[in-house]
A = this chain, B = another copy of it.
Amino acid sequence: MLRAWTLQTGMEESEWRRLAELTAVKFVPKGTRLIEAGEHVTSGYFCGQGLFRLFYTLEDGQEYNVGFSLENDYVTSYGAMVTGRPSAYTVEAMEDSAVIDISQSALTALTAHSLSWERFIRHCVERLYIRKEERERELLYLSARERYEAFLLKYPGLDRRIPQYHIASYIGVSPVSLSRLLRSKRN
C-alpha cells in the first residue's frame, strides 16, 4: 500500500529501496503506547498491521479520542514532530500491531535530494490536514447520528473491532447516548 502511494509520486525503485535501508519495523503489543502525551516525538510511523487510537486526556481524567489509524495508514503526532514541542495527545495500540518506524533523520535523508520523497511527504501532510478540516466540519454541522455514519464511512469495519465507548468518545457523545441512538436506528 505504501508502495502504491509512492508510485503516484513517480518514485523510482532505487528511491523506494532507500526506505528499507533507513527504517525499521517495530512491533507494538496491544495496550502499548507508541507516543505518550507530553513526550518529545522523533519518529513518524506507518501502520502495516493493527490498530491505534489517538486521544487527549482531559483535566478530569476523561479520554477524548480524536482519531484512529488502521492498516496502511500512518500514525504519528506530526505537529509535535515538526515543532519539537511535546505531543499533546497519546497514541495507543488497540490490537497487536506492527509499524514502520521512520525517524526524523531518516525523513531528512529521504527528502534531502529526492523530489519524489519530498512530494510524498507533502501528500501525507495534506491528508492529515484534510482530516482535521473534515473533523472540524463534522463537529460543527452533523448530528450525533450523522457523525456516527461519517465514522463508519471513514473507518470501514472499525465498529466491529473496538468497544462502543471508544466510538462514543470519538463522535463526542456519552456511551449511553450512543447505545440509545443505535437502538433507535434499528427500530
Contacts and interface: CB of A to CB of B under 8 A. Distances in A.
B59 A141 contact: yes
A79 B133 contact: yes
Contacts of A141: 56, 58-59
A153 B148 CA distance: 36
Interface in A108-137: 111, 113-115, 118-119, 121-122, 125-126, 128-130, 132-134, 136-137
A108 to B, nearest CB: 11
A83 B119 CA distance: 16
B130 A58 contact: no
Interface residues of A, number: 30
A87 to B, nearest CB: 10
Q: How many copies does the complex hold?
A: 2
Interface centre among A58, A79, A134, A141 (most CB of B within 10 A): A79
A130 B56 contact: no
Nearest to A111: B119
A59 B118 CA distance: 40
A106 interface: no
A70 to B, nearest CB: 20
Contacts of A125: 122, 125-126, 129
A83 B126 CA distance: 10
7 closest A-B pairs (Cβ-Cβ)? A132-B132, A122-B122, A79-B133, A129-B129, A118-B118, A125-B125, A79-B130
Given A56-B137, A66-B136, A78-B126, 4 more contacts: A78-B133, A82-B130, A115-B118, A128-B129
